[in-house]
Amino acid sequence: MKISNAAFFLLCSLMLLSSCSFKTRTSSSEDETAAKVKELLSRMTLEEKVGQMTQVTLDVLTFGPDHLSSYEPVVLDTAMLRKAFGKYFIGSVLNTPNNRARDPREWNRLIGQIQDAAMKYSPNRIPVIYGLDMIHGASYVAGATFFPQQSGLAATWNTELARTAGEITAYETRSTGASWIFSPVMDLGVDPRWPRFWETFGEDPTLVSMMGKSLIIGLQGEKNQTDEFNRVGCCLKHFAGYSQPRTGKDRTPAMIPDHQFTEYHLTPFKAAIEAGAMTVMINSGAVNGLPAHANKHLITDVLKKELGFKGFAVTDWQDIEFLYTRHKVAASYKEAVKMAINAGIDMSMVPYNFDFATTLIELVKEGEVPVSRIDDAVSRILTVKYNMGLFGKPSATADSYTEFGSEQFSAQARQVAEESVTLLKNQDKILPLSKNAKILVAGPAANSMRPLNGGWSYSWQGDLSDEFASDKHTIYEALQRMAEDSLHIMLSEVLKYDKKGDYRNEINGNPGEFLIAARKADYIVLCLGENSYTETPGNLNDLALSENQQQLTRLAASTGKPVILLLVQGRPRIISAIEPLAAAILQAYLPGNYGGDAIASILYGDVNPSGRLPFTYPRYQNSLEQYYHAYTEQLDDPSSPNKSAFFPQWEFGSGLSYSTFEYSNLILSSNKYRAADTLKGSVKVMNLSDRPGMEVIQLYCSDLVASITPPVKRLRWFTKIMLQPGESQTVAFEIPVSSLAFVNNDNAWVVEQGDFTLSTNNLRAEFKVLNTRVIATP
């Protein structure tokens, strides 16, 4: 297997040379849709138009004690439906009732009744666009196929698997009748303190762009055929700079220099828009002092004009109101609505009432918001609805989706989990283990599905996984199933998570019982990390692994038995104090419902690990820089064991295999290139072991001298290959020289003449760029 990505880099070059367009359909079909939208818009009243810009949560439309919850079984309130669609003409509904997953048939009932009401009460019979947070599979659907969360998907470094995950997610989502998902996250994972770190594809713009593009193609189709029964429209999150808050806390301000913002944070969004992403969700935070939802330059000038985005921009949860209540940039809710809509917001995720619609109508009538801005927003929304086929078929029937939750889908999710797990340490090749080995399994992630899935799994905080995924296998259960004698697999509950409580809560058991059990074991496998969380509830003040878990590791090491650490976690928690105590360490990320099986297969050697870190794993809490740091950030430091100030626990791209690979013959077609050329070359990789294995070939470029301080290196190309024992392969690559461009202090993309180094594994090749070329200007 070989996944070539040369085409992506050519695409990046074209993106820099020309403005992006909405990569969807033929010009004739686009013209036809535009004519339909124009004609429909001409028949709509102001009230109807503003209604299309209004989104409410489902609990507002059901019988329940309040607008925050619903009675069970969930029943839609017919009087509220009439109000929502007959008076306010709302255009969108989101979320799952009572923060709880539903099976496809219940979703069919609920969404079908909502669409029926929209058709019945709205004068122009405009269907609703229903949105759900389907984050790692159809994650609000009972029985759906769950993949690893995005950081784990990124750890596969396999774009084909990302596309497959998108295809299955789209199929199973559409079975519910929902046609729109709030995914993927295109933010960079640059701050491991941030509680949504695991929702990203990692820290590198190239990796994030390529994985995100592939996922989008899987979700929307190669040609964005979102009107088909097995496709959905995606929503990019969270435009832009959301993931680098100064404090590491969710929804807090970021301070990012303009050139870094453009080069690093905008690049993945640009790639995703070029792939055809239909909608974008705006950053809940503030960048350089201005909340994104009030930033006209960001939303209108950059997103819609410079990046050529033709879809619609939706707020995050309650974020227009927060301009007034939290950010304090608006003196009233009305002023906040004016700010956001004039900035370029097209749809408001209100989500608890219809006040937004009333307020916006007032603003238009008072001349504070121009009608042209309303028409632009509604045209974008209607275009997406037409492109999704909602006017022809607004709902779905689950019985038509016969592959939902199938064994084939499960096998593909398991493969993703297997390729994600990253072997970080394997002292004296202690792994793989014999299936006859006696193993004591302990730690809070040992026998629970909740930490395997993480947040956005059956519920917002992921606290229902043990209920909904009870038929799946925990790590302990998977080891039992694969061992030659299940009695050789012992469980100690010396430390557990509080399954229903805050993710930080841990319950201590009896250490004496653990020590007694350890006497019978050949190995101790500790399943450590974090319980599930997301967003603000996942904020932390200490990135170190909990003291309880560190104490458990010390207790295990005191027995003299080999200790194997399995890190099941959304963030890379600091483990430098206990890392020397472990003979082997596996990073499992949040591997999903098949994570237990994947981990057991790797421990026993049925699967050869091939995951690679999509982020830098920090060693110290005060050293959280990325691999593309400046040269000044790795100056000599006599206090550091490696004599460098940059001393992470493991570097970006790290990962071991049970196989040994040898690199040789890194060859370039030339040692001199012009800025318009394409750098071509090859490298030979050989599997020296007696075990088949997959290797990720990573090519980095270093700009040795630049007009602003360059990073020490940047990932520019990668591919993943399978090699049989003794097999070698010469892998060809192409990198457009224009993709080596950086953003200078004038915020212009430029390739500068000078000396460069290309490196992979332990090989290096030098080359020159002969001329300076400005690729794009702001």
Which residues belong to the active site? 316
How far, rounded to the nearest angstrom, does the alpha carbon of residue 679 sit from its chain's CA centroid? 30
164 forms beta bridges with: none
Q: What is the rounded CA–CA span in Å between residue 700 and residue 362?
A: 55
131 forms beta bridges with: 94, 180
Please count the helices (runs of H) and the strands (runs of E) in the chain: 22, 29
Characterize the bridge pairing of strands 286-287 and 290-291. Answer: antiparallel
Element spanning 233, H or E: strand 233-239
Our CA dihedral for 34, 35, 37, 39, rounded to 10 degrees, sits at 160
Characterize the bridge pairing of strands 661-668 and 693-703. Answer: unpaired
| Alpha-carbon distances, residue 472 vs 63, 402, 596 (angstroms) | 33, 21, 8
Asked if 123 and 49 touch (Cβ cutoff 8 Å), the reply is: no
Closest CA to 495 of 528, 523, 522, 453: 528
Q: How many residues does the chain have?
A: 778
Q: What is the rounded CA–CA span in Å between residue 85 and residue 119?
A: 8
- Both ends of the chain: CA-CA distance in Å? 40
Asked if 181 and 215 touch (Cβ cutoff 8 Å), the reply is: no
Residue 79 makes CB contacts below 8 A (sequence gap 6+) with none
Q: What is the rounded CA–CA span in Å between residue 716 and residue 13?
A: 12
Residue 686 makes CB contacts below 8 A (sequence gap 6+) with 661, 662, 664, 723, 726, 727, 728, 729
Residue 24 makes CB contacts below 8 A (sequence gap 6+) with 30, 223, 224, 276, 387
Element spanning 687, H or E: strand 678-687
Q: What is the rounded CA–CA span in Å between residue 500 and residue 591?
A: 20
**What tokens were used for 168?**
């299955």
Residue 208 makes CB contacts below 8 A (sequence gap 6+) with 154, 186, 188, 200, 201, 202, 268
Characterize the bridge pairing of strands 439-442 and 489-491. Answer: parallel
Q: What is the rounded CA–CA span in Å between residue 44 and residue 263?
A: 41
Residue 29, classed as helix, strand or coil, is helix
| Alpha-carbon distances, residue 686 vs 529, 659, 662, 700 (angstroms) | 35, 10, 5, 20
276: left (phi over 0), alpha (psi -120 to 50) or beta: left
Residue 339, classed as helix, strand or coil, is helix
Exposed, middle or buried by CB within 10 Å (0-12, 13-18, 19+), for 408? exposed
589 forms beta bridges with: 568
Residue 380, classed as helix, strand or coil, is helix
Exposed, middle or buried by CB within 10 Å (0-12, 13-18, 19+), for 230? middle
Exposed, middle or buried by CB within 10 Å (0-12, 13-18, 19+), for 575? buried
425 forms beta bridges with: 585
